[in-house]
Structure 1
Amino acid sequence: MKDVFAAEWLKLRTARSTYFTLVVPVGFVVMGAALAFYSANMWDSLTVEDRAHFALSSLATLNADVTGLCLAILGVLAVTGEYRTGMIRTTLTVVPRRSLLLFAKAGVIGGVALLAGLAVTFVTFFTVKLIIGDRPIRGQPTGVVAELPELVSRGAAVTVYALLGLGLAVILRSTAGAIASVFALWYVVPIIIANVPAPWNERLGSFMLGGLPDQVIGGDNENSIYGSILPPPVALLVLLAYAAIPLAAAAFLLNRRDA
């Protein structure tokens, strides 16, 4: 088993796509710092009346979402790249236990996603906080301790995105199809549900992927299109299901289809 994990890690860290997908979140960290610097300068030039209407959304949350999408794409490419080149046949010859292969891929991708998600989220948070300083800009956190649960929840949720992409890639065997499916689950479906008549918009919206990390820590998804009716334990189970169900389906199909 150790050799299978080592082989998957070697394939992941030697693929150019890995670095292409990881450079985007790094770029957003830099953009977040630039936006925070611009907002701080603007705040200093505003009158007292204008400051009451000035706000800056959570850049750490934004970057966590961006990182999630990037790692979902990485999860997709980790599978479809092998199918595209035909390398999957060699892989399955060396590792005939297909469930073990999928488990190894999920472990490596999940580990990278967890580290990347937490790193980007916390680096963005502390960078923005350092630049904003003690300016009471609306929408910005006041303390690290109060924001810690959300930072951990948002950062760790990136792992779910990555495993979702991995599972869909095995199921669909299509880069475009898997990426489009992830994007639809994250963005398109929630917009459609947000326009469903009440109270079903909130009920269904509470089960959407993007709104679950906040509910895991007991948040209310304020000023978002998501609902907030799920208690934290249920929200956590639903969030994990977004990764577990596609991976279970992927394991089933991988064992029953030709390479």
Structure 2
Amino acid sequence: MTKDVIAAEWLKLRSVRSTYFTLAIPVAFLAMAALLALYAANRWDGLTSEDRDHFALSSLSTLNADVTGVCLAVLGVLVVTGEYRTGMIRTTLTVVPRRGSLLHAKAAVVGSVALLAGLTVTLGTFFTVKLIIGDRPIRGQPSGVVAELPELFSRGSAVAVYALLGLGLAVILRSTAGAIVSVFMLWYVVPIIAANLPAPWNERAGSFMLGGLPDQVIGGDNENSIYGSVLPPPIALLVLIAYAALPLTSAAILLNRRDA
């Protein structure tokens, strides 16, 4: 039964246009990263040695990982609220009366797609930019590949957490706008508030923010960011998982208690 439910959820995800629109945005940002890398390479070749000391290019793979995370969080929301909006959720629950199995199937499908998308875009952006930049020592660009892989895998995998967070909030709130705003608050607004707290609470609170956890998972220090870095890697990993697990647990409880 579980395999059938997962297959049905996969079919529903593939059959709606919003899935392709949402996934198209990270792909567009990957293409934009390639264009920016081309511009940076051409600009670098025309600079004097003195001007090159002041020229920099930010990490585009980090940017695209964040963009992909937000897009997949929106997709996680739409997977649920689209059914509530059309009333299809009643048909779904009639066919799959075990609501826990339904939520698990949705989470499995959305989480798998998000994980694949996150790793593809993050790694794809990194290697595309690396290929275009070549051996140019542009400031802000990594010199080696092996040293960057842990961060790339961490940030790419965190996209699945964004998607499951959106899915859980959508079940809890049953509102597209409410769930998307909640994701945006957790991703962008709350970290800004935390960063403006008096020391040392700004770093302590910032360490628990969603955007700062992937770097701490691999022992990074979130240098030049608004996030803190007081959590050891195992704790950071547990907190990251909790961002998905807690909303999904609450969603499972409410899904079993509320009417469709």
Query: Where do 5+ consecutive residues of structure 2 fail to align?
Result: none
- Give every structure 1 segment of 4 or more consecutive aligned residues whose post-TM-superposition deviation is greater than 4 Å: none
Provide the identity percentage: 82
For 1:168, the equivalent position in structure 2 comes to 169
> Could you state the TM-score of these two structures normalised by the residue count of structure 2?
0.99
Measured after TM superposition, the shift of residue 42 of structure 1 is 1.1
Query: Where do 5+ consecutive residues of structure 1 fail to align?
Result: none
Measured after TM superposition, the shift of residue 142 of structure 1 is 1.0
The CA deviation string for residues 11-63 of structure 1, in whole angstroms up to 9 with x for no partner, is 00111110000000000000000001111111112221221121111101110
Measured after TM superposition, the shift of residue 258 of structure 1 is 0.4
For 2:69, the equivalent position in structure 1 comes to 68
1:147-158 alignment runs, 5 A limit? 147-158=148-159
Taking only aligned residues, the RMSD between alpha carbons, in angstroms, comes to 0.5
The CA deviation string for residues 119-139 of structure 1, in whole angstroms up to 9 with x for no partner, is 001110110001100000111
For 1:17, the equivalent position in structure 2 comes to 18
Equivalents in 1 of 2:214, 2:146: separation in Å?
17
For 1:159, the equivalent position in structure 2 comes to 160
Measured after TM superposition, the shift of residue 113 of structure 1 is 0.3
Equivalents in 2 of 1:258, 1:132: separation in Å?
55
In structure 2, give the amino acid aligned to 1:196: L
The CA deviation string for residues 65-96 of structure 1, in whole angstroms up to 9 with x for no partner, is 10000000000000000000000000000000
For 1:93, the equivalent position in structure 2 comes to 94
For 1:145, the equivalent position in structure 2 comes to 146
Number of residue pairs aligned between Structure 1 and Structure 2: 259
The CA deviation string for residues 130-179 of structure 1, in whole angstroms up to 9 with x for no partner, is 11000001111111111010010010000000000000000000000000
Equivalents in 2 of 1:53, 1:222: separation in Å?
19
For 1:129, the equivalent position in structure 2 comes to 130
For 2:34, the equivalent position in structure 1 comes to 33
The CA deviation string for residues 208-254 of structure 1, in whole angstroms up to 9 with x for no partner, is 00000000000000100000010000000000000000000000000
SS of 1:227's partner is coil
Q: Greater CA deviation, 40-49 or 107-116?
A: 40-49
SS of 2:223's partner is coil
